[in-house]
Amino acid sequence: MQLPREVIVGHGAIERVAEVSRRLGFHRSALIIAGSKTYDIAAKRVKELLEEKEGMTVDTFLIETAMMKDVQAVETEIKSLKPQIVFGVGGGTKIDVAKCSSARQAIPFISVPTTASHDGIASPVSSIKDFEKPYSVMAEAPLAIIADTNIIMRAPWRFAVSGCEDVIAKFTAVRDWKLAHEEKGEYFGGYAASLALMSAKHVIQNVQLMKSENEEGLRILIEALISCGVSMSIAGSSRPCSGSEHLFGHALDVIRPNHSLHGERCGVGTIMMAYLLGQDWKRIRDALRNLGAPINAQELGVEKKEVLRALEMAATIRPERYTILNKLNLCKEGYEHLAKVTEVI
């Protein structure tokens, strides 16, 4: 089990980056992975603080996508610069690449998220796209997470809503995990499952606080996302956080690449998979609606036939991951009925 050693969440948390780095024993050199936008938003400040307060040698490497070629480029950079520590500063892609490349080079990694759009900010799993097919790679949990709510607040609120949806998706993910345990004898960790589930309940209970400009709501969301990341560290896989709803989301991303946010796709998937799992899918749908999240194909900006294709493709995305989709093995008409009855199409 690998858990983060320091988690700092709050207004102005980024100002403590040098102090955290020193406490963890890194005071000589660092490599910052960021995007061109997140460089201005946060990475520049991280670099200044490390250089000025600790006198560290700090290099920066900018990336724009999370493909295998980006991971390899960062690995080359790590090999030549030999930094003590890698910082991933940005939203999903930058953190995914920093996490994956640092783990492959056995260098510790600190996560500095600039959005709260999914649970990758704290998880040991990297989502890397290759040949246009997204897949998850087990990497290492971040050694520290520094989440500055003042910076994250500046991102469009849609990103935070996506984060809420990614947390709510744990209702179906955990149920799928339990199903795999009951039917296939797969390892099931009750503690990891409870932790992921508790985060989902916490977000649903606080939906009213999840409004833009509300830093308290954002803090609750970030803590929930971090707890989800920790649940994956405890489980040793993404099982507590990713089930059939994520498979649907990944399939839709293959069909319409980069068209919607991760949480948005998974949120719509959660509504449908909750129905298949016999859960209170209407409650989940209503919570998503209250958040202002898309709840059907039209709001997601995709065509009905794309939703149906994604449903058919979902179980093939990750064949080793047993979910309700394998158990039911629905035909085309079955998926159409599912999408219609849940009012997704």
Q: How far is the CB of 329 from Zn ion (least distance, A)?
A: 24
Least CB distance to Zn ion at residue 212 (A)? 21
Question: Closest separation between CB of residue 342 and Zn ion, Å?
Answer: 20
The stretches of the chain forming alpha helices (DSSP H) are 17-23, 36-38, 44-54, 68-81, 92-104, 149-152, 157-168, 170-184, 190-205, 215-235, 244-255, 262-276, 281-291, 297-300, 304-317, 324-328, 332-341
Output the CA–CA distances (angstroms, integers) from residue 341 to 96, 271, 329, 334, in the order listed: 36, 11, 18, 10
- SS3 track for 70-127: HHHHHHHHHHHHCCCEEEEEECHHHHHHHHHHHHHCCCCEEEEECCCCCHHHCCCEEE
Minimum CB distance to Zn ion smaller for 62 or for 254: 254
Q: Quick check: 96 binds Zn ion (CB under 5 A)? A: no
Q: Choose, by CB under 5 A, the member of 148, 166, 253, 306 that binds Zn ion.
A: 166
CB of 229 to Zn ion, least distance (A): 10
Q: Between 148 and 166, name the residue whose CB sits nearer to Zn ion.
A: 166
Region of 31-39, 76-84, 110-118, 155-163 interacting with Zn ion (CB under 5 A): 110-118
Residue 32: Cβ-neighbour burial (10 angstroms; 0-12, 13-18, 19+): buried
Question: CB-based burial of residue 16 (10 Å sphere; 0-12 exposed, 13-18 middle, 19+ buried)?
Answer: middle
Q: What is the DSSP letter of 137?
A: E
Nearer to Zn ion, 118 or 129 (CB): 118
Total binding residues toward Zn ion, as defined by CB under 5 A: 2
Interface characters, 126-165, with Zn ion (x: CB under 5 A): ----------------------------------------
Shorter beta-carbon distance to Zn ion: residue 47 or 239: 239
Q: How far is the CB of 19 from Zn ion (least distance, A)?
A: 31
87 and 112 Cβ atoms separated by less than 8 Å: yes
We find the least distance from the C-beta atom of residue 126 to Zn ion, in angstroms, to be 12
Using the contact rule CB under 5 A, the part of the chain among 70-78, 79-87, 113-121, 195-203 near Zn ion is 113-121
Beta carbon of residue 174, minimum distance to Zn ion (angstroms, whole number): 13
Residue whose CB is less far from Zn ion, 43 or 225? 225
For residues 13 and 247, which CB has a smaller minimum distance to Zn ion in the complex? 247
Burial class (CB in 10 A: 0-12, 13-18, 19+), 268: buried
**Could you tell me which stretch among 111-119, 176-184, 199-207, 251-259 binds Zn ion (CB under 5 A)?**
111-119
Which positions lie near Zn ion, rule CB under 5 A?
118, 166
